[in-house]
Structure 1
C-alpha cells in the first residue's frame, strides 16, 4: 500500500492551542491539566475512592498527547485519533515482573474500550495492541503488561471508541497485584484451571522454542536473552487478550438467539420437511494431537445438531498421542455417522484434509477444525440456505471466537462474498461449505499451502463459480477456539500461514491474469495489493468542477501535476467563477493546452451537470471525477486505477480520503443505512490506522458506492449508464451512478492505496438550513422511489448491524429473519427509524460530490 506523496504539514507550536489538536503536551503539562480537572470538578472520581487518586498521574514518564485538547476547567476533548504515549518509570520497570496500566476516564461518548499499544523494541504494531479491560461498569480501565523491563514505550489509543469531551481522573502505571492476576484463575473449576494453565505453559514454551531458533540465526543480536524475554512478553500479552470481556450486548444477543425452545425445534422440523432435498452434509475434520477434551467437545457439538443428515469424515494424521485414536475409535463405535481414517504417516493438514474428504458421501463438504464448536442449529441453517439458493456451490457464515473458559467474543459479522476483500484476508473462512463436485474439480487442498490451505482452496473454487453461486449466511454458525499459538488469537501467531496466504493470492492473480501482487498489509495476518504496470496504459482525464476557491483549486492542480504522469490530462469545469484571482489563475491554466482544458459553465450549480460537461470534453479512456478541495498523497494513484480498471468486471475505483488532521473522511459508502436509510460514508471520523471489523477499515474491498470526490471509471461505462443524473443536483448523484454501474454487472471497489487529503470541514458542525434540508429530503425520496428499499439494501453491511448508522453498532434485532427461530415466538421487530437528515460539513466550495 503506497503512502508516498504530499502529506499535511504537522501543526506548528503556535497552532497547538487551536481546537481539535494538541501536540507536545509534556508529562508536567498533563499532570497539571489533570490536577485542574480534579479542582474544577469539585468532586472525586470513582477511581480508588480516595482523594489521592483524583487527577493522579504516577509511574509514567515522557508523556506525549496527540489530537487531545485541554479545554476550560481542565477538561479534555478527544478528537478522532487521540493518543497518549508514555514510558514506564525506570525504577518500576526494573523492579516489577508485571505492571498494571490504569486509565480512569469519564466521557460523554464511550463506544468501546481504549486500547494499549506496547513497544517491545520493534515499534508499535497492531499485533501488540489490545483492548483495556473494565472490571465493572465504572470508568476505570486496566491492563497488565508483563516484563516491563523490556518495554520501550506504551501508547493509549482511543480510535473512535471514546471521543469528544472527557475527564481523565487518573493515568498511571503501578506494580501488578498478583491477587488481581490470579483471582480469576482460582475461581475456575479444577479441570478448566488445569487445562488453561497447561495451555498457557505450552504457549510460552512454544514461543521460547520459536524465538530461540530465530535469535540463534541472528548474529547481530546483542542481547538474545532480552529478545527471548520480549517474545515471551508479547505472547503473554496476546494470550491475555483472549480473556478480555465480551461485549455485553453481543453476549445477550447470542444467548437469546442461540437458545432453542421446543417451539423452535418444532418450527425447524416443519421447515425441514418442506425442503426440496435434505442433503447429506459431510463434515471434514483433520486431526493431529489435539487436546482430547477439546476434540471430544467438537464432536459432541456435531452430535447435538438439530439437522440429522450429516456424517463426520475424520482423518487422524498419525497423532503422536495414541490416546487420540482411542478417543476417535470409542466415539465412532458409539455413532455410525463418525467415519474415521487413521493415516500411517504424518502428511500435515492438506493431506489429512484430503484423506478425510475422500471418505465423504455427501453433496456438500463442511470444513471444521478439531477443537472448534458449532451451535446446535448450524448444519440445519446450512441446509436451509441450500434449499433457499438452489444451484449454490459455496456457502459461508459469520463466526466468532470462544476461549477456554467458554466466553464468546469478537464476532465477525461479514458481508456478501467479495473476492477483493479476499485479497486482504480470508473472509470466507468459517463456516466454509463447498459442493463436493467443485472441491474435487479443483483437486482438493494443495500441498505446500499448509497454514492457509483453506484460503488457497477458497480462491481456486471461487474462480469456477458465478457470484450468485457463493452464498453468505448472515448468522454466526462457527465458534473458533482461541488457543495460544492459534491464529484465532491474532494474525501474527503463525507467520508461515501468512506467507502461504500471500503465495495463494499471487497464484490466483497469475491464473486470472491480473496485474496485481500480494504484499504485507498494514497489520499482522492481513495482506495489501501492489499494482503492476499494464501493457497498454490508458489516458486518464481528471474532471474537476470548481467555482472560485483559488486557495483550494491551486494546491489540488499542483498536486496532480507533481505526479508527472504523461498520460494524464486535467479538465477544469468552471462554474461561473467571478473572483479575479481565480479567473487569472484559470487563464494561466488555459495556456497549458497539452495538459489542461478549462471549460466554462454559466448555469446554476448542478454537480452532475458539471461532471457530465467535463466528461464530454475528456479525451481519456478513463475519467477521474475529483473534488477541487483535494490533494494527492499517493504518487501511484494513476497506476493503481489503471491496474484495477484493466479487470473487466471492475466498473469504478474509489479512494481513501483523509481530513487534513489525518482522520478518515471517506472509505466507501454503505447504502440502506444512515440518514433516511439512503447512504452514509463508511469509517468516517476514524483514525487512519484504526483496524475496525477485522481490518475491513483498511483493506481493499467492494462497496455498493464510492464518493465522486475521487472516483475512477471508464468513460465508455460512464456514457453507457447515461452519466450522472442531473435530477440529483447535490446529494446521492454518486450513489445513483454506482448503482447503475452495478446494475450492469460491474463492481465498485475502494482502494486504500489511492490516498488524498479532502479538506471538507470536520469541525464546522451541523448546518440545518431549511432550504438545504428540504432539498436533501426531496433527493432522498427520489432515490427511494427509483431504487426501492431492496435496491438500496447493502449486501456488504451485515444485517445484524443497526440501520441508524454505518458504524457497525449491533442492532437489538437483525434486519433479516433468524431462520431457525419460530417466527411466532420472536418478539415483535420494530424497524429502526433512520435519523432525520441534517446538512453537515458543508464544503468550502460548490465543486463537491453528491453524498
Structure 2
C-alpha cells in the first residue's frame, strides 16, 4: 500500500489534484473495461466441438507426432484441485502424452489414493512416491526421471491446461521441427472456475525476460536439453523454473511463442497466482537465478531488486570506458515557457553536461548555418564540436554528417528539445548497446507535465505508434512493460544509442526520410539484420516534442515507409513485440 501512496504523492506534486483524479479514473476505467473485454474475448475464442473435430483430422495427417511428458510435482494439494489438474491433461485433444507425477512425501491421505487411482485408470499416467520431502525442485527432478517424451511441459498441481494446449504445441512443432522452447499465453482461474487476468505476451524478448519471467506458463522444452543442463536446482526453489529457463536459453535460439491462452493458473491463497505476497521467498530465488546467469555471461554485472516483487533490474558492467558521441541537430531555437524564454539547444547541452555521471562523451552539434551568433558563442564555450550543413533541413543527413565526424565507439542521436533528468542515463543505455546482439537502445521520454511521450514504438498495420502515449509516467504499463527494459520493434531517434559499427553497417539514416520515420527505418534495418532493439526506462529525459521543428507528416512519408518495408511487414505478419490478440486501434495493450 505504501508504494501506491508514494505514487499518488508524486502525481500530486507534479500535476495537482486534477492529475491524481485523472490517474485514478484512468486506472479504474481501464480495469473495468479489461474485465468485460476479456469475458467477451473468451466467448469468441473458446475451442468448440467443430474445432476439436478439425484438430483431430489435422493430427491424423501430421508427419511428426511428438510425445509430451508433463511434469507435475505434488504436495498436499486439495483433492478437487489435484483432480482438475489431472483431468485437464486427460481431456487433451492431442493424445501422445504422458503425465509424470512425483508426490513429495505428502502427509494428506487423499494424495496417495487419488494418484494410485489415476495411474491404474490411464497407463499414460506415471507416479513416483518420494519417501522424503525434498521440495519442488527435487520432486520435479523425480518426475523428470519418469519422462520418455520428446518434450517436457510443466504443470502445477492445482492448475489446468486448456483442452488444446498440447495440440497447439504439436502443430507448431510440425511447422518448426527445430523448436526447442515454446511458450504460450496464460490467464488465471479462481476457485469457481472463472477465468480472469489474461497475460498476452510478446514474442521472444530477452531483455524483458531478464526483468521478469514473463514466459511462465505454458512452457514446453526439449527434453534432451533439459537433461543436458541438469534439470532443476534446489538452491533456486521458488524460482526453479526461471533458473531452468535462464540456463536453457543459453543452449538454443530456437524459441517460439504461441499467442493463445493455453494455461489456467489457479488463484487461491496457497498459489503464487493469488498475488505478489503469496510466496516472497520466490522473488529472492529469482534474484539468485539472475545472479547465477550473470556469472556465466560474457556481460557480467549485478541484479537490483525493484519495488515490484518479481521484477528485477539486471545491471551489466560497462566494458572499458568507451567514448560516446552525442549528435544533436539544431537551429538554436528559443521557445517561451513558464520561466521565460528558453534556448532548447543550450538547455539540452547544459543538462547533458551537468546531469551525466558518465563523463567520457563528446557533443557534436550539426546546424544549417542558422544558429544565432549569441547562441553559437555560448555553446562553443561549452566544449562542443560544430558541424555545419548548407543543405535544406534533413534530419537524416545531419545525423549522418555528425556521425562521420564522430570519434566515439557509440553514437547517441539526440534531439535538441530534450533535457536529461536521470544522472545514469548514459550508463543505462551503454550497458545494453555494448551487447553484440543489440541494435538500437531507446530511452523513456516524458512531456514536461510528466506524461509519457515514448517508451517504445510498435508498428500496427504499418502505422508506427508510441506505446501508452500521453499516459502518466506512474503508469507501469502492461505487465510492467513501462518500468523495465523491454524489447520493441523500433525506438525514437529523439534519444537513440547505437554502436558506431552497427550504424555504419546499416548505412546510417536513410536520407530519403528527411523528417519522419528515419528512426523507424533504422530500427527495422537493425531488426531485419538480426539485431534486437530495446527501450530502457532507467534513462529518462523530458522531451519538448517537436518544439524545434514543424510537427506532422509530410505528404507521402507514410506511403514511402510502407512501400519500402512491405515485404518485411508481410514476413513478420504482426509486430512481434505486440500480441496479435490485442487491439490495433490504440497501442495501449487492450483487447478492444
Match of 1:575 in 2: 368
Change (3 A) 1:308 1:22: closer
Q: Give CA-to-partner distance per residue, 1:507-537, whole Å, 9 cap, x none.
A: 1111012243221124222112334343x12
**Do structure 1's residue 802 and structure 2's residue 583 form an aligned pair?**
yes
User: Is residue 572–residue 597 contact of structure 1 (8 Å, CA) maintained in 2?
Assistant: yes
Give the TM-score normalised by structure 2. Answer: 0.92
Q: Is residue 119–residue 127 contact of structure 2 (8 Å, CA) maintained in 1?
A: yes
How far off is 1:256 after superposition?
Answer: 3.0
564 and 452 in structure 1: CA distance in 2 versus 1, 3 angstrom threshold: closer
Work out the CA distance in 1 between the residues paired with 2:591 and 2:569: 24
Aligned to 1:712: 497
Total equivalences in the alignment: 573
Residues 791 and 381 of structure 1: CA distance in aligned 2, closer, same or farther (over 3 Å): closer
Secondary structure of 2:539's aligned partner: strand
Whose radius of gyration is greater, 1 or 2?
A: 1
| Cα RMSD for the two superposed structures | 2.4
- 2:63 corresponding residue in structure 1: 276
2: CA distance between counterparts of 1:297 and 1:443?
30
* Secondary structure of residue in 1 paired with 2:478: coil
When residues 265 and 781 of structure 1 are mapped into structure 2, their CA distance, relative to the original with a 3 A threshold, is: closer
* CA shift digits 1:156-182 (9 cap, x unpaired): xxxxx8xxxxxxxxxxxxxxxxxxxxx
Contact kept, 8 Å, 1:279 with 1:383, in 2: the verdict is: yes
Corresponding position: 1:585 with 2:370: no
Q: Please give the per-residue CA displacement for 1:252-290, whole angstroms capped at 9, x wherever unaligned.
A: 2223322322x3222112211221211111110000000
- 1:639 is aligned to 427
Residues 555, 492 of structure 1: CA spacing in aligned structure 2 closer, same or farther, 3 A cutoff? farther
Following the alignment from structure 1 to structure 2, what is the Cα–Cα distance between the partners of residues 367 and 420?
A: 23
Residue in structure 1 matched with residue 28 of structure 2 by the alignment: 113
| Partner of residue 149 from structure 2, selected from 348, 357, 362 | 362
Alignment of 1:323-722 (within 5 A): 323-466=110-253, 469-534=254-319, 536-550=320-334, 551-562=343-354, 563=356, 565-577=358-370, 582-592=372-382, 595-673=383-461, 677-722=462-507
- Contact 1:491/1:526 (CA < 8 Å) preserved in 2? no
In structure 1, the residue corresponding to 2:472 is in which secondary structure?
coil
1:285 aligned partner: 72
Deviations 1:760-790 (A, max 9, x none): 179xxx977xxx4524344344444474433
CA distance in 2, matches of 1:461, 1:717: 28
Which SS does the other structure have where 1:409 is aligned?
strand
How far residue 588 of structure 1 moved from its aligned partner, in angstroms, is 3.2
Distance (Å, rounded) in 2 between the aligned partners of 1:569 and 1:792: 40
Map residues 126-141 of structure 1 onto 2, 5 A cutoff: none
Matched residue SS, 1:774: coil
Relative distance call for 1:644 and 1:259 in structure 2 (3 A) is closer
Which is worse superposed, 487-496 or 471-480?
487-496
Residue 591 of structure 1, CA deviation: 4.3
Relative to structure 1, the CA distance from residue 799 to residue 113 in structure 2 (aligned partners, 3 Å threshold; closer, same or farther) is same
Q: 1:128 corresponds to which residue?
A: none
Structure 2, unpaired ranges of 5+: 1-9, 335-342
- Distance (Å, rounded) in 2 between the aligned partners of 1:778 and 1:378: 40
TM-score (norm 1): 0.65
CA distance in 2 between partners of 1:499 and 1:311 (Å):
33
Distance in 2, matches of 1:426 and 1:755, equals: 24
Which whole-Å CA distance do the structure 2 matches of 1:284 and 1:404 have between them? 23
> Are the aligned partners of 2:11 and 2:19 in contact in 1 as well (CA < 8 Å)?
no
Contact persistence 2:358–2:424 (CA under 8 A): no
The CA distance in 2 between the partners of 1:780 and 1:652, in whole Å, is 18
Q: Structure 2 vs 1, CA of residues 569 and 453 (structure 1 numbering), >3 Å: closer, same or farther? A: same
Task: Give the whole-Å Cα distance in 2 for the aligned partners of 1:619 and 1:474.
Answer: 44
Give the direction of change, closer, same or farther, for the CA distance of 1:483–1:773 in structure 2 (3 Å limit).
same
Residue 502 of structure 2 corresponds to residue 725 of structure 1: no
Distance 2:569 2:545 in 1: 30
Q: What is the distance in 2 between the residues matched to 1:565 and 1:331?
A: 62
